[in-house]
Amino acid sequence: MSLVRCFVAVDLEDPAIASKIAAVQEQLKGAGAKLKLVELENLHLTLRFIGEIPRDLIERVMEALRGVEFTPFTVHFVGLGAFPNPRRPRVIWVGVEEGSRELSELSAKVNSVLAKLKLPKPEEEFTPHLTIARVKSGVGSLPMLIEENKSLELGSMLVDRFRLKKSTLTSRGPIYETLFEVKARSV
């Protein structure tokens, strides 16, 4: 049986924010570490990583997600950070200031409808963030760059939908495809 790797996310669809992120990625490239930058069209806020599931479960996941109700809200992107921490960065991300509570609530709603399908719970607690680069090796001046940009303003966008995405891993990086979209209830 073929498995499909999927996740639930809010896509970054604001070209102005994406171009600011591209400028930040350029800076990171010059830091002397080996990085895999996230392609601008792949930038997203993960609400829930589901992982590999049998193809026949996807219909049920879509049906469950259809039951998630939320109203549109704004997210404001501010500052760089890193997991596990800026001194030993493995993942470099942009933080969410305004809207992080709403994102957490939306993630909790997604998790609660998916729990009914007996999908394993996420390992980590939800932290709203937008991954922009993964560190393959070395650190270079990344800790300094992250520190210098910890309050960098990147702009705001309206969240009025989220998507179930399929991720196909390739040697050049993942290819994402939208399987299903859930729109916010209009107020």
Q: What is the pLDDT of residue 123?
A: 79
86 prior amide bond cis, ω within 30: no
The DSSP element (H or E) to which 129 belongs, if any, is strand 129-137
Residue 172: pLDDT band by 50, 70, 90 thresholds?
confident
Rounding to the nearest 10 degrees, give the CA dihedral for residues 175, 179, 68, 98: 30
Q: Which of 48, 109, 129, 165 is catalytic?
A: 129
**One-letter amino acid for residue 115 of the chain:** A
Q: What is the pLDDT of residue 187?
A: 58
Residue 13: pLDDT band by 50, 70, 90 thresholds?
very high
Give the C-alpha distances (Å, rounded to integers) separating 164 from 7, 45, 95, 125, 151. 6, 12, 22, 20, 31
Q: Which of 4, 35, 38, 44 is catalytic?
A: 44
Q: What is the pLDDT of residue 27?
A: 96
Residue 121: pLDDT band by 50, 70, 90 thresholds?
confident
DSSP state of 99: T
Q: What is the pLDDT of residue 173?
A: 85
**CATH number for the domain harbouring residue 80:** 3.90.1140.10
Say whether 76 is catalytic. no
Name the domain count of the chain: 1
Q: What is the pLDDT of residue 1?
A: 65
DSSP state of 141: T
Structural domain including 170 reads: 3-183
Residue 148: pLDDT band by 50, 70, 90 thresholds?
very high
Strands 34-37 and 129-137, how do they pair?
antiparallel
As a residue count, the chain comes to 187
Residue 125: pLDDT band by 50, 70, 90 thresholds?
confident
DSSP, residue by residue, 26-71: HHHHTTSSEEEEPPGGG-EEEEEEEEEEEGGGHHHHHHHHHT----
